[in-house]
Amino acid sequence: MADLRINLAGITSPNPFWLASAPPTNTGYQVQRAFEAGWGGAVWKTLGDPIINTSSRFAAVHFNGQRVAGFNNIELISDRPLEVNLQEIYETKKRFPHHALVVSLMVEPKREKWHEIVKKVEAVGVDGLELNFGCPHGMAERGMGSASGQQPDLVEAQTMWAKEAAKTPVIVKLTPNITDITSTAKAAVRGGADAISLINTINSLAGVDIDTWNTIPHVGGKGSHGGYCGPAVKPIALHMVADCARNAEVGIPISGIGGISNWRDAVEFMLMGATGVQVCTAAMHHGFRIVEDMIDGLNNYLDEKGLASVMDLIGKSVPRYSDWGNLDLNYAVVAKIDNDTCINCNKCHIACEDTSHQCIDMLTSDTGESYLQVREEDCVGCNLCAIVCPVEGAITMVEVAGTEPPLTWNERQEAIAKLGEGNSNKKEAV
């Protein structure tokens, strides 16, 4: 069996599955039960100055039969006294010395505040600190969370202040509520961060009750924006992780978070550069025991791939994630319909006819049976027919042997520019 241990900027854990800082890591009771269940690490629910949480604070988006496709919350950081949390952290670390215990912190953007909390938390024995610059609601109004996480200068300064006092590795947790995630990732690096983690939740309003006209959720008839997470946010998170991983100016380890529900999601994040993952919504939806399947699935996958260590996965797909300008414009695929498995539902025909390139014909055979056929010369290889097809494998996208050599848009522009130079030289010569 492969070695599942990871080392994230010096923080080691028996496997790459950590619980993210959130309700599942609110107390020692929970974190200890999670470690017993098999989680390799946990980031304790964010500590800071005590706050008051609202009653009614979660909402979910159930989509087309899937419960909790997305999850929304207006919860703030820990509402339990700091001293109680510290005592429980101490006890948890003592009981589980080999698990990764990281504590999430959020204080006002003041040097002395960061020094004070870092020292207090490290005194009880933790493996690392995570600075929460991501919470998009409640704390932001107080100049913390995403309010400071959206400003690279503040990310840099606060990371620096935490690092001045810290003896353990410092992970900076980034907010996705920003245009370019690498700007704050680079600020964290300038501040001396040992690693980054992303993403925190995305600004959202889960819905509006069309009978009462209240927001979902609402607190006594009033609502406010919350943070979105769960399976729906995974593509956004994966892109942001990949964007940081492929940026040489970031260059520090990444803890991947956002919509991770199973071992496959975890593998994707690791291939895109994450050294381990953190999970919140999936654990809230299904309980701590989901980690058993995650560990089994990952073990089997690594064995099948012949990999000795889970660390061998990290970043393997990063070189394959590039800018649009580096894609081969001469690469082509076309759709092929397998008429033996096709159920003639016509969804592909309708999708192609109404919203794509009108290249799936409805034909009738000599024996009078109707069937669908792609006019390959008109197919642009958009994938829409395969996406809407309800039968697995009935439509496949097949590579067309190209007659032209690979050519990217960037190469094309360069060639055109050179031609222009040549022409002007010619003109001068003339």
Which chain residues interact with ligand FMN by CB under 6 A?
A: 20-23, 45-46, 58, 71, 73, 75, 77, 104, 132, 134-135, 173, 200-201, 229-230, 233, 257-260, 279-282
Helix (H, G, I), strand (E, B) or coil at 214: coil
Tokens 């005194």 sit at which residue?
123
Burial of 366 (0-12, 13-18, 19+ CB in 10 A): exposed
**Least distance (Å) from ligand FMN to the CB of residue 42?**
11
Nearest approach in angstroms of CB 396 to ligand FMN is: 32
Q: Which of these is catalytic: 135, 280, 352, 385?
A: 135
Q: How far is CA 326 from CA 73, 244, 273, 330, in A?
A: 39, 18, 20, 12
Least Å distance, CB 413 to ligand FMN, is 39
Which residue, 70 or 352, is less far from ligand FMN as judged by CB?
A: 70
Q: Could you tell me which of 284, 141, 110 has the C-alpha nearest to residue 224?
A: 141
Torsion from C-alpha of 211, 217, 221, 223, nearest 10 degrees = -120
Minimum separation from the CB atom of position 217 to ligand FMN (A): 11
**Please, which residues bridge with residue 128 across strands?**
102
If the CB atoms of residues 280 and 360 are measured against ligand FMN, the closer one turns out to be 280
If the CB atoms of residues 59 and 348 are measured against ligand FMN, the closer one turns out to be 59
Instruction: Evaluate whether 395 touches 337 at the Cβ level (below 8 Å).
Output: yes
Minimum CB–partner distance for residue 287 and ligand FMN (Å): 14
SS3 (DSSP) at 20: coil
Residue 228 Cβ vs ligand FMN, minimum distance, rounded to whole Å: 9
The nearer residue to ligand FMN, 45 or 113, going by C-beta atoms, is 45
Spatial distance between the Cα atoms of 181 and 261, rounded to a whole number of angstroms: 23
**DSSP for 64-85?**
TTEEEEEEEE---S--S-HHHH
Residue 98 burial (10 A CB sphere; 0-12, 13-18, 19+): exposed
Q: Residue 251, CB half-sphere, CA atoms under 13 Å: how many?
A: 5
Is 127 within 8 Å of 102 (Cβ atoms)?
yes
CB-nearer residue toward ligand FMN: 131 or 360: 131
Q: Is 280 a catalytic residue?
A: no
Strand ranges inside 338-413, DSSP E: 360-364, 370-374, 395-399
- The least CB distance from residue 106 to ligand FMN, in Å, is 7
Cα separation, 170 vs 162, in Å, equals 8
Q: At what angle do helices 28-37 and 82-95 cross, to 10 degrees?
A: 20
- Report the distance separating Cα 259 and Cα 331, nearest Å: 32
DSSP letter, residue 126: -
Q: In angstroms, rounded to a whole number, what is the distance separating the alpha carbons of residues 333 and 214?
A: 48
Question: Under a CB-based contact definition with an 8 Å cutoff, are residues 280 and 19 in contact?
Answer: yes
Smallest distance, ligand FMN to C-beta of residue 232, A: 8
What residues are annotated to the active site?
135
